């Protein structure tokens, strides 16, 4: 059953009561990004604690009634979501906080939280009878779109900027998608994809435009809440590029609140790199977003023109959260720290939240007695070149036991 009531424009606020899948507001045009709204009263009777206790589908598809999808094909899809929520014992001590969880979304099928949106996109494309699915992305939406399209036998055309890291590029080709590496930045890749999609009538997975991408992304919050027995932490920390992920994080918690399943929405900390921080600047100066350079190693959040500014800014404002930015050196340090303390390997944008939390604690934005969940949004193996910056490269060892002992002594293991 479909519980969608309609779509609300995030600019003009107008509500369109329809079951038809609208992409953007007919009045506001392309900037009129929509929010999907459900019949929450009807859903209250379906999505009960009992429903979740009995539901044995441990993937994001367990939330199908509130994702706006038809359930015909979900059994054929790869398992997306229900990623581990790891209670931290070591990192929490180093940061000096009592209760810290790490949601490891790098363990999704293609290695990032983008799988949550791509899974929905591919289902929607199949529902719409599309022949081809397409998107532009800094790399992860691209590789995840290629991944799930491959699994469902749907051709994909993928646009990426030339800086996309080797792991992500390899994934896209390996999944058999048509890869277009645009000689330019993400802004250029987005523009070309937009033209091609309009010209050829492909299904558009571009995250901001398509309101259903947030419906996938929000499941990360539904999981965090459920994994914590519907008592989410005081704060949830996430890195921000286009702003769809953080928009989804807020929507997920807000809907659980509307359904009476949690009694407050956690405060959301949005984290960017100082090399590309349009949201941080806009929030600080109380001004509209301005285009900026894409100058950070955290390629997944190197987004100079965020495509989902309204949802992202509201996520922080409505949750009484905060914006913060961290330099690339802190991001690199966070990669090593998270690996060493928790055994979790994140890509630069994946661990930006860790660096953001450390800074927020220092600045007193987050207090040490508050509880926190960090979302690690992408797997470190996607970008081994940048990961090398976080380690000391080992020398080659002669096969000689004395030499080995010298090395082991140096390392303090014997
Ligand atoms: C896409 C992405 C983000 C940011 O998500 P947006 O929706 O672009 O804000 C963060 N981390 C990783 C690893 C990503 O792939
Ligand atoms: Zn509108």
CATH number for the domain that contains residue 300: 3.40.50.1100
Q: Does residue 255 sit within a domain?
A: yes
**Which residue of 205, 239, 268 sits with most ligand 1 atoms within 8 Å of its CB, as the best mutation to test the pocket?**
239
Q: How far apart are CA 336 and CA 296, in angstroms?
A: 17
Q: Which residues of 151-187 are buried (b: 16+ CB within 10 A; e: fewer)?
A: ebebebbbbbbebbbebbbebbeebebebbebeebbb
Three-state DSSP class for 345?
A: coil
Please list the rounded mean pLDDT of every run of 10 residues in the chain (414 residues). 90 91 88 95 97 96 96 94 98 97 98 97 94 92 96 96 90 97 91 94 84 96 98 98 97 98 98 98 94 92 92 97 98 98 98 98 98 98 94 92 96 94
Provide the residue range defining the domain that includes 361: 85-111+213-390
Q: How far is the CA of 46 from the centre of ligand 1 (A)?
A: 31
**CA gap 301, 243 in Å, rounded:** 9
pLDDT at position 205 is 86
| 227 within some domain | yes
Q: How many CB atoms lie within 10 A of CB 20?
A: 8
Q: Mutate which of 140, 190, 346 to test ligand 1's pocket (most atoms within 8 Å of Cβ)?
A: 140
> Which ligand neighbours the alpha carbon of 29 most closely?
2
Q: Note the pLDDT of residue 288.
A: 92
CA 307 to centroid of ligand 1, rounded, Å: 12
Kindly compute the dihedral angle of the four CA atoms of residues 169, 214, 134, 126, in this order, to the nearest 10 degrees: 120
Pocket of ligand 1 (CB under 6 A): 112, 114, 140, 207, 239-246, 300-301, 303, 347, 349-350, 377-378
In a domain, 232, yes or no: yes
Q: Output the CA 300–ligand 1 centroid distance in Å.
A: 5
CA 273, CA 287: separation in Å to the nearest integer?
A: 19
Q: How far apart are CA 271 and CA 273, in angstroms?
A: 7
pLDDT, residue 1, reads 56
Distance CA 339, CA 319 (A): 30
Pick the ligand that lies closest to the CA of residue 296.
Answer: 1
100 belongs to a structural domain = yes
What pTM value is reported for the model? Answer: 0.96
pLDDT attached to residue 210: 87
Neighbouring-strand partners of residue 112: 378
- Tell whether 118 is covered by a domain: no
How many structural domains is the chain composed of?
1
Q: What is the DSSP string of 244-271?
A: HHHHHHHHHHHHHHHTTSSSSPPEEEEE
Q: How far is the CA of 87 from the centre of ligand 1 (A)?
A: 23
Q: How far is C-alpha 392 from the geometric centre of its chain's CA atoms?
A: 29
Q: Rounded to the nearest whole angstrom, what is the distance from the C-alpha of residue 23 to the centroid of ligand 2?
A: 11
- Report yes or no on 141 lying in a domain: no
Domain-located, residue 274 = yes
Buried b (16+ CB within 10 A) or exposed e, 298-332: bbbbbbbbbbbbbbbbbbbeebebbbbbbebebbb
Q: How far is the CA of 108 from the centre of ligand 1 (A)?
A: 14
- Ligand 1: atom nearest CA of 303 is 8
Q: Confirm whether 337 is domain-assigned.
A: yes
Closest CA to 79 of 119, 113, 106, 51: 119
Ligand closest to the CA atom of residue 15: 2
């Amino acid at each position: 059953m479909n519980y969608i009531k309609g779509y609300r424009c995030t600019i003009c606020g107008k509500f369109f009561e329809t079951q038809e899948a609208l992409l953007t507001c007919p009045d506001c045009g392309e900037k009129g990004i929509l929010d999907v709204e459900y019949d929450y009263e009807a859903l209250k009777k379906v999505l009960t604690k009992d429903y979740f206790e009995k539901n044995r589908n441990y993937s994001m598809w367990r939330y199908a009634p509130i994702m706006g999808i038809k359930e015909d094909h979900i059994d054929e899809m790869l398992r997306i979501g229900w990623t581990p929520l790891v209670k931290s014992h070591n990192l929490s001590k180093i940061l000096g906080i009592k209760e810290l969880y790490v949601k490891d979304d790098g363990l999704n099928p293609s290695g990032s939280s983008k799988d949550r949106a791509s899974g929905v996109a591919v289902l929607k494309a199949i529902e719409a009878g599309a022949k081809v699915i397409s998107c532009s992305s800094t790399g992860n939406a691209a590789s995840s779109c290629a991944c799930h399209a491959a699994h469902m036998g749907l051709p994909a055309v993928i646009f990426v900027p030339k800086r996309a890291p080797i792991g992500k590029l390899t994934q896209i080709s390996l999944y058999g998608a048509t890869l277009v590496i645009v000689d330019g930045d993400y802004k250029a890749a987005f523009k070309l994809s937009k033209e091609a999609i309009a010209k050829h009538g492909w299904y558009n997975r571009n995250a901001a435009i398509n309101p259903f991408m947030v419906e996938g992304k929000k499941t990360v919050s539904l999981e965090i809440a459920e994994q914590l027995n519907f008592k989410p932490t005081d704060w949830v920390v996430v890195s921000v590029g286009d702003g769809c992920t953080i928009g989804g994080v807020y929507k997920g918690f807000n809907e659980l609140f509307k359904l009476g399943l949690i009694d407050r929405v956690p405060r959301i900390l949005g984290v960017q790199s100082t090399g590309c921080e349009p949201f941080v600047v806009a929030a600080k100066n109380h001004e509209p977003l301005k285009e900026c350079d894409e100058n950070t190693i955290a390629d997944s959040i190197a987004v100079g023109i965020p495509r989902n500014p309204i949802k992202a800014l509201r996520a922080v404002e409505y949750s009484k959260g905060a914006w913060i930015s961290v330099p690339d050196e802190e991001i690199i340090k966070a990669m090593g720290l998270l690996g060493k303390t928790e055994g979790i390997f994140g890509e630069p944008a994946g661990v930006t939240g860790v660096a953001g939390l450390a800074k927020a604690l220092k600045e007193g934005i987050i207090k040490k007695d508050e509880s926190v969940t960090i979302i690690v949004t992408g797997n470190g193996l996607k970008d081994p070149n940048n990961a090398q910056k976080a380690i000391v490269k080992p020398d080659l060892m002669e096969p000689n036991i004395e030499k080995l002992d010298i090395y082991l002594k140096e390392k303090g293991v014997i």
